[in-house]
């Protein structure tokens, strides 16, 4: 130690000890030794057991902590007048960090036993030490909280709502870690939109609510893209999206075959009463009573909406030898030229069809297009198939038609109030939707839970096309520039010179 060494003088400069009386400082000073730590030398190692307090008199020490496989990381620097290792004054404890000299340092050292002697004489020192320890603890806790809140993942982020494992698995596989996807079981709605915080895009399905309040929140949070992983977009407020510069994409054609095949599956099952036959034989009842069906060959099928799915349905039905009456606001010329297909007005389609299959989108013009008046015009015993959107059918009118035996069969993959039940397991619950419950009492009604799209091929296409839209958005395309933009003309008309919402 040098001649000029006056530990009391040094201790007086330390915040923690400045309140100590002169005699206490004197006692403490006498118990302290002084060491020199050359630059690069380790004063103590993380995990070692130690019982000495250090006070830095001069120079700088790095505080290093092991950070998993990343090795030791410097969490802070200690300079003159700071303390380290206070915990060791409470007994022998493992060092929580390594102290390594960054420069040549002078350090005062106080051992546990010496400290105890001072504390016995000066209990106020114990109080001061406790205050210092708790202050450090609070500081460390807030550092940890900040670190936890900080997101190190710099990838483009997608909030994936209404996630089900059969869909999420396919997305995760196709994504191959390109984007960071946060899968949420919750549906997107005003009450859950906060889950999208920090995301650049949200990915939603048919029963998520993307109304004005949700769009406003998304825009506020910097979410610039609503990527629908379905064809229909009736659940999105497009006016609000355009106004707030939020782009909206969909998957217009992931597999029209999947939906058309399901529509025909419903027709065949209802016609040949497969659901009833199956239940019956499982109860060892092999009787055929009540199971008489009809030949599809030669029957007239009315196809409402001859877009991608409607055309696929027509193809299958022509294979059965059905006669097709087609209706669409924009007839498909290629289909019109097919043998066995005739475009007719809706009234004629209603009047002449044995089976009516709906493949038009839900729009104000198609809302409740199957109502009491429409049902009145239909053949007695008609079969109605809806794999499009529930609200195309006025369910109350359908129930009346079934009760009056005007409707002979109904195959519904969609239902206007489906969002309360579809896609979820309520087998331990009761149905509070009396309309749905009543529908399920009819043996000539088949309801599936919006599963027409659910084939492996369709899921793969949905994931690939949705991620392709996200790719485009991440590359800077906005609104009508996106290949799968919904209502492109409306987005194009409203395009802002700056290209809309920022990626955020």
Task: Please list the active-site residues.
Answer: 389, 418, 450
Please give the Cα distance from 117 to 130 (Å, whole number).
Answer: 17
Q: Which of 129, 202, 226, 231 binds ligand NAD (CB under 6 A)?
A: 231
Neighbours of 227 (CB within 10 A): 24
Nearer to ligand NAD, 187 or 244 (CB): 187
Instruction: For strands 407-412 and 445-447, give the pairing.
Output: parallel
Concatenated DSSP letters of 211-244: -HHHHHHHHHTT--EEEESSS--TTB-HHHHHHT
Binding to ligand NAD in span 57-96, by CB under 6 A: none
Residue 264 binding ligand NAD, by CB under 6 A: no
Nearer to ligand NAD, 104 or 328 (CB): 328
Q: Is the sign of the CA dihedral 373, 377, 379, 384 positive or negative?
A: negative
Residue span binding ligand NAD (CB under 6 A) among the ranges 89-97, 108-116, 363-371, 488-496: 363-371
Nearer to ligand NAD, 100 or 359 (CB): 359
Contact 210, 232 (CB under 8 A): no
Contact 490, 241 (CB under 8 A): no
DSSP three-state, residue 448? coil
Residue 390 binding ligand NAD, by CB under 6 A: no
Q: How far is the CB of 228 from ligand NAD (least distance, A)?
A: 11
Q: Which of 310, 401, 411, 479 binds ligand NAD (CB under 6 A)?
A: 310
Between helix 274-282 and helix 256-272 the angle, nearest 10°, is 60
Residue 210 binding ligand NAD, by CB under 6 A: no
Q: Which residue is nearest to ligand NAD (CB)?
A: 307
Cα torsion 472, 478, 481, 487 to 10°: value is: 110
Residue 329 binding ligand NAD, by CB under 6 A: yes
Q: By CB neighbour count within 10 A (0-12 exposed, 13-18 middle, 19+ buried), where does 342 fall?
A: middle
Nearest to 370 by CA among 340, 402, 322, 324: 402
Q: Which of 108, 225, 360, 485 binds ligand NAD (CB under 6 A)?
A: 360
Q: How far is the CB of 415 from ligand NAD (least distance, A)?
A: 11
Residue span binding ligand NAD (CB under 6 A) among the ranges 177-185, 239-247, 362-370, 459-467: 362-370
Max alpha carbon distance in the chain (Å)?
116
Helix (H) or strand (E) holding 262: helix 256-272
Residue span binding ligand NAD (CB under 6 A) among the ranges 8-16, 105-113, 437-445, 446-454: 446-454
Nearer to ligand NAD, 129 or 264 (CB): 264
Residue span binding ligand NAD (CB under 6 A) among the ranges 74-82, 177-185, 356-364, 462-470: 356-364
Residue 308 binding ligand NAD, by CB under 6 A: yes
Nearer to ligand NAD, 353 or 388 (CB): 388
Residue span binding ligand NAD (CB under 6 A) among the ranges 73-81, 252-260, 271-279, 486-494: 252-260
Concatenated DSSP letters of 117-170: HHHHH-HHHHHHHHHHHHHHHHHHHHHHHHHHHS----S-EEEE-S--HHHHHH
Q: Considering CB under 6 A, how many residues would be counted as binding ligand NAD?
A: 31
Residue 387 binding ligand NAD, by CB under 6 A: yes
Q: How far is the CB of 366 from ligand NAD (least distance, A)?
A: 5
Within 13 A of 154's CA, how many CA atoms are on the CB side? 0
Q: Which of 388, 395, 461, 484 binds ligand NAD (CB under 6 A)?
A: 388
Question: Distances in Å between the alpha carbon of 462 and those of 200, 203, 254, 299?
Answer: 19, 11, 5, 34
Residue 224 binding ligand NAD, by CB under 6 A: no
Nearer to ligand NAD, 311 or 470 (CB): 311
Residue span binding ligand NAD (CB under 6 A) among the ranges 110-118, 151-159, 184-192, 383-391: 383-391
Nearest to 303 by CA among 258, 251, 254, 267: 267
Nearest to 58 by CA among 33, 44, 42, 37: 37
Q: How far is the CB of 207 from ligand NAD (least distance, A)?
A: 12
Please give the Cα distance from 442 to 104 (Å, whole number).
Answer: 89
Binding to ligand NAD in span 276-305, by CB under 6 A: 304-305
Instruction: List residues near ligand NAD by CB under 6 A.
Output: 231-232, 253, 256, 259, 304-310, 327-330, 359-363, 365-366, 387-389, 413-414, 450, 452-453
């Amino acid at each position: 130690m040098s001649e000029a060494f006056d530990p009391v003088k040094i201790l007086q400069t330390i915040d923690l000890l400045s309140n100590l009386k002169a005699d206490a400082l004197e006692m403490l000073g006498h118990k302290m030794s002084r060491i020199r730590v050359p630059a690069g030398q380790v004063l103590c190692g993380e995990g070692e057991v130690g019982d000495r307090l250090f006070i830095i008199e001069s120079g700088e020490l790095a505080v290093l902590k092991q950070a998993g496989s990343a090795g030791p990381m410097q969490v802070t620097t200690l300079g003159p007048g700071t303390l380290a290792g206070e915990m060791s004054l409470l007994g022998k404890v493992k060092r929580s960090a390594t102290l390594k000299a960054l420069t040549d340092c002078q350090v005062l050292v106080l051992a546990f036993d010496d400290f105890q002697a001072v504390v016995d004489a000066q209990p106020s020192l114990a109080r001061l030490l406790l205050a210092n320890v708790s202050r450090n603890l609070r500081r460390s806790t807030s550092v940890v909280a900040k670190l936890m809140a900080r997101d190190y993942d710099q990838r483009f982020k997608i909030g994936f709502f209404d996630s089900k494992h059969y869909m999420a698995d396919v997305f995760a596989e196709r994504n191959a870690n390109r984007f960071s996807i946060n899968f949420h079981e919750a549906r997107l709605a005003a009450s859950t939109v906060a889950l999208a915080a920090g995301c650049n895009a949200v990915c939603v399905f048919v029963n998520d609510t993307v109304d004005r309040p949700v769009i406003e929140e998304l825009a506020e949070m910097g979410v610039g893209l609503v990527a629908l992983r379905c064809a229909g977009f009736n659940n999105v407020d497009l006016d609000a999206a355009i106004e707030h510069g939020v782009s909206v994409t969909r998957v217009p054609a992931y597999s029209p075959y999947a939906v058309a095949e399901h529509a025909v599956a419903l027709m065949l099952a209802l016609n040949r009463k497969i659901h009833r036959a199956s239940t019956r034989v499982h109860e060892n009842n092999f009787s055929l009573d009540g199971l008489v069906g009809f030949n599809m060959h030669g029957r007239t099928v009315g196809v409402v909406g001859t877009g991608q799915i409607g055309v696929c349905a027509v193809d299958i039905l022509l294979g059965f030898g059905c006669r097709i009456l087609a209706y669409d606001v924009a007839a498909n010329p290629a289909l019109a030229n097919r043998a066995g297909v005739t475009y007719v007005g809706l009234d004629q389609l209603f009047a002449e069809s044995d089976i009516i299959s709906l493949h038009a989108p839900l729009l104000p013009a198609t809302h409740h297009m199957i109502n009491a008046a429409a049902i009145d015009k239909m053949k007695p015993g008609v079969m109605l198939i809806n794999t499009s959107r529930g609200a195309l059918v006025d369910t109350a009118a359908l129930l009346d038609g079934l009760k009056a035996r005007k409707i002979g069969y109904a195959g519904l993959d969609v239902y206007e109030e489906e969002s309360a039940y579809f896609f979820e397991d309520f087998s331990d619950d009761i149905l509070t939707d009396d309309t749905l419950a009543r529908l399920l009492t009819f043996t000539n009604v088949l309801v599936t839970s919006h599963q027409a799209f659910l084939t492996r091929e369709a899921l793969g296409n949905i994931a690939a096309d949705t991620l392709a839209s996200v790719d485009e958005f991440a590359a800077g395309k906005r609104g009508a520039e996106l290949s799968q933009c919904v209502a492109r003309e409306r987005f194009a008309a409203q395009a802002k010179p700056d290209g809309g919402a920022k990626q955020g």
